[in-house]
Amino acid sequence: MTHKLPALRVLVAFSFVLALVLGGNLVASNNKVSADSCTPPATTYGTATMTVTIPSTDTYNIWVRMLSPSSSANSILLNIDNSSCYNVGGNASIPANAWTWVNYSGGNTATTMRLGLSQGTHTFTLTGTQAGVGIDRIEALSDNNCTPTGVGDNCAPPNVSPPTISFASPAVGSNVSGSSVNVSANASSASGVAQVGIKNVVFKLDSNTTLASVSPPVGSNGIVSPSGTAIPTNSSQIVDSNLSIWTIGSDAKVYKDGALAGYSTNVVKLLYFNGSIYQQTQSAGWWLWNGSVGYTQVAAPTGVPTIALQDGGAYATTWNSTGVANGAHTLTAIATDTQGQTTSVTESINVSNNVACTANPSAPTGVTGTSPDPTSLNISWSASTPGAGCNISQYSVYQGAILLGTSTTTSFNTSNLIPNTQYSITVKATDDSGHTSSSSSAANLSTLADFIAPTAPASMTATSPDSSSVSLSWGASTDSVGVTGYKIYRANGTGTPSQLIGTTTGSSIRNYTDNTVNPATQYTYGVVAVDAASNQSQKTVSNSVTTQQAPAAPKPAAATNLRTTLVTSSTATLAWDASTSSGVTGYHVYRGLGSATAALIGTTSSGTSYTDTGLAASTLYKYYVVAYVTNTNVADNSSVINVTTMSGPPTCALAADLNCDHVVSINDAAILFGKLGINSGALASDGDLNGDGKVNINDAAILFGKWGQTY
């Protein structure tokens, strides 16, 4: 791309301020200026000297802003570099007590102060020749057409940046054919500068053959000035919805729907806003266009865009390519703005008239890419060369054998990738006849590692619905890649939660129930967000919460059907039916003697029977049992039974059943053998089964003869 700047426009306008009012409060003096070309009067009224840097050699108009106290006191002496001297003003038409811009000397408005100044520093000296004359600003302008107004800002330098231009079609390196090839480019001048716009875009073939000169588009009704003459060619058009704005120098014309809607000179802003046309003049006043009435002054509209005037857009033409030889050619587009600045751009094409598309395109080359974030790749490559008579229609981008997508340009962006991961990327080209190239060389492109932690979860809330759980919830975290889950921490009391008690998976699950708490206990919780790269957020801490008191456990049901299964002179064996309540861990057995209060004599851990020993013969006892869950959660007493022990050893219905358990077994043999050898006074309960007062082998024979009998 090349640029060309206009001559003598390095500095189109220049101004400096002389911060001094000559006369007034100044003391008159006899200061004199030593100058070769002019001599001040004998009496002067103040002197001021300033060194000024001129950035570019040019011819400048010198303007002085003057405040005259009267029609007769209206001049001042200006000496430039002790070589050029001007008696500025001196004309009775200069109004009194009003700041007025003057560019002439000796009282003759036709004798303008126009001076050639070289690049570099120059000395400007002002000498008061009349009392009370004020000077606050001098401007040296290379623009012959600009008259300063106000404080002179209207003559500020116009844009010196060249326009921009780029081809829109055909694509670089493409094959073109036929009598109507679309050739277009996008061009614009610097935005926001009302005095500058695109004058035209010229398209050339092979640098020397002009194909077309394209001006900005016009409205459907044609564009004419108020007098009916054609608008000058050094104009630019700005299109906003149905509005066209043309700028010529510092003047502007507005066309609405193709018809002239307003004309302004020396405007600061001209814009279409909220359905109306506004302008802002140098005096900073706002004016509203009212059709045939013209502009009427209004209050400044609110919400006005900071840049009112812009230009740019597409410039297009068609070209008959059949008049040139097939093969390689160049197209050049040259944009020229209204200041004469140019920018050009050139691209190569191939003319392929009457050539059949048969060959495959070349493989794309130079595949490369960057990772703008941990889950994305921006991929680009150099264009393929199509076969003769062909044009590239699209590119297919692959990751290994997986098609990521297609692109009509030489770039492609893909996302939803894994951070810190290498991908093998290849590209294939396809032409408009369906021919596909071979794959490009593979480029190994890596996504960025994810070092960015998720944001801390939003506020965390803890509540306790009962004595055995705490319900937690929290707001979402965000992450550059994605939140994969949360970690939940707990602390007893109001401490810092540091005990990891659980996790959740996924970004959408933002609640958790802690079922490992104790009743009537205070806890504090924290939550941390985690991403796929194990980056963890700052911990968000919940409010402290106290679990509820545990409810009183239900009293178990009482044992029932308390009874005896065996009573001897010294023992009583009890049995009962179990409590019907769940959770019963045992039974307490109570015994009382006669009318005395019963006392705890034993406990079973699970069984429903108990043998009380060491009792007195022929004695009345009372018993009851109590089921319990804990020592503090016990059932009501069972029913009470009265038991009287026997007067002596028991006599069983079957003599060989020595322990009266209704079966003759090893237990009875044990009793007999325990008494074996008694020679006199033995009882039947001792094993004297034949009644001879002895326990011996004869009794054992009787017992074994009854072995296994039941009754």
pLDDT in tens, 243-277: 455 544 445 555 554 455 555 555 545 555 555 66
Q: In this structure, how many other beta carbons lie within 10 angstroms of the beta carbon of residue 459? A: 12
The string of pLDDT tens digits covering residues 64-103 is 888 888 888 888 889 898 888 899 998 888 998 888 999 9
Q: In this structure, how many other beta carbons lie within 10 angstroms of the beta carbon of residue 370? A: 11
Give the up-direction half-sphere exposure of residue 154: CA atoms within 13 A in the CB hemisphere: 21
Nearest to 362 by CA among 425, 289, 411, 435: 435
By 3-state DSSP, what share of the chain in percent is helix, strand and coil, each rounded to 5? 5, 45, 50
The string of pLDDT tens digits covering residues 429-479 is 999 899 999 999 999 999 999 988 999 999 999 999 999 999 999 999 999
> What's the whole-number mean pLDDT along residues 575-602?
92
> What is the separation of C-alpha 529 from the centre of its chain, rounded to a whole number of angstroms?
17
Least confident window among 153-162, 163-172, 357-366, 596-605:
153-162
The answer to whether residues 45 and 31 touch, using CB atoms and an 8 Å cutoff, is no
> What's the whole-number mean pLDDT along residues 518-528?
96
The answer to whether residues 610 and 602 touch, using CB atoms and an 8 Å cutoff, is yes
Q: Could you please report the per-residue DSSP string of 185-201?
A: EEEE--TT-TT--EEEE
Which pLDDT band, with edges at 50, 70 and 90, does 649 fall under? low
- The whole-angstrom separation of Cα 700 and Cα 566 is 24
Bridge partners for 412 per DSSP: 379
Tell me what pLDDT residue 361 has.
Answer: 94
Six token digits for residue 599: 């006392």
Helix (H, G, I), strand (E, B) or coil at 449: coil
Q: Which residues contact 528 (CB under 8 A, 6 or more apart)?
A: 457, 486, 487, 489, 536, 537, 538, 539, 540
Helix (H, G, I), strand (E, B) or coil at 691: coil
The string of pLDDT tens digits covering residues 19-38 is 333 332 222 222 222 233 46
Least confident window among 228-237, 314-323, 657-666, 692-701:
228-237
Tell me what pLDDT residue 23 has.
Answer: 31
Tell me what pLDDT residue 274 has.
Answer: 56
> What's the whole-number mean pLDDT along residues 529-547?
94
Q: Whole-model pTM above 0.85? A: no
- The whole-angstrom separation of Cα 711 and Cα 707 is 12
- The whole-angstrom separation of Cα 192 and Cα 137 is 26
DSSP label of 364: P
458 torsion bin: left (phi>0), alpha (psi -120 to 50), beta (else) = beta
Least confident window among 202-206, 511-515, 518-522, 565-569:
565-569
Which pLDDT band, with edges at 50, 70 and 90, does 161 fall under? confident
Tell me what pLDDT residue 10 has.
Answer: 24
The answer to whether residues 535 and 453 touch, using CB atoms and an 8 Å cutoff, is yes
The answer to whether residues 339 and 4 touch, using CB atoms and an 8 Å cutoff, is no
Nearest to 5 by CA among 336, 426, 354, 398: 336
- The whole-angstrom separation of Cα 234 and Cα 231 is 9
Tell me what pLDDT residue 655 has.
Answer: 79
**More reliable by pLDDT, 140 or 622:** 622
Tell me what pLDDT residue 237 has.
Answer: 43
pLDDT > 90: percent of the chain: 41
Which pLDDT band, with edges at 50, 70 and 90, does 223 fall under? very low
Q: Please, what are the domains in the chain? A: 2-155 (2.60.120), 164-215+315-351 (2.60.40.10), 236-310 (2.40.10), 365-446 (2.60.40.10), 460-546 (2.60.40.10), 560-644 (2.60.40.10), 651-711 (1.10.1330.10)
> What's the whole-number mean pLDDT along residues 548-552?
87
- The whole-angstrom separation of Cα 422 and Cα 412 is 17
Tell me what pLDDT residue 35 has.
Answer: 31
**According to the 3-state scheme, what is the secondary structure of 7-27?**
CCCCCCEEEECCCECCCCCCC
The answer to whether residues 26 and 135 touch, using CB atoms and an 8 Å cutoff, is no
DSSP label of 53: E
Tell me what pLDDT residue 27 has.
Answer: 23
Tell me what pLDDT residue 344 has.
Answer: 94
- The whole-angstrom separation of Cα 323 and Cα 328 is 14
Six token digits for residue 513: 């129930």
- The whole-angstrom separation of Cα 546 and Cα 523 is 6
- The whole-angstrom separation of Cα 279 and Cα 308 is 10
Nearest to 676 by CA among 665, 689, 663, 664: 689
- The whole-angstrom separation of Cα 651 and Cα 50 is 147
Peptide bond into 170 cis (omega under 30): yes
Nearest to 315 by CA among 170, 174, 215: 215
- The whole-angstrom separation of Cα 269 and Cα 703 is 133
**According to the 3-state scheme, what is the secondary structure of 374-434?**
CCCEEEEEECCCCCCCCCEEEEEEEECCEEEEEECCCEEEECCCCCCCEEEEEEEEEECCC
Nearest to 525 by CA among 534, 536, 535, 517: 517
The answer to whether residues 232 and 270 touch, using CB atoms and an 8 Å cutoff, is no
Tell me what pLDDT residue 127 has.
Answer: 86
Q: Which residues contact 559 (CB under 8 A, 6 or more apart)?
A: 576, 577, 578, 579, 587, 608, 625, 626, 627, 635, 638
Which pLDDT band, with edges at 50, 70 and 90, does 646 fall under? confident
Six token digits for residue 423: 């991908």
Which pLDDT band, with edges at 50, 70 and 90, does 410 fall under? very high
**Greatest mean pLDDT among 24-28, 271-275, 341-345, 687-691:** 341-345
> What's the whole-number mean pLDDT along residues 170-187?
91
User: How large is the C-alpha radius of gyration of the chain?
Assistant: 56
Tell me what pLDDT residue 693 has.
Answer: 83
The string of pLDDT tens digits covering residues 268-305 is 455 555 556 666 665 556 667 665 556 677 776 665 44
Determine the number of helices (DSSP H) and then strands (DSSP E) in the chain. 2, 51
Computed over every residue of the chain, the mean pLDDT equals 80
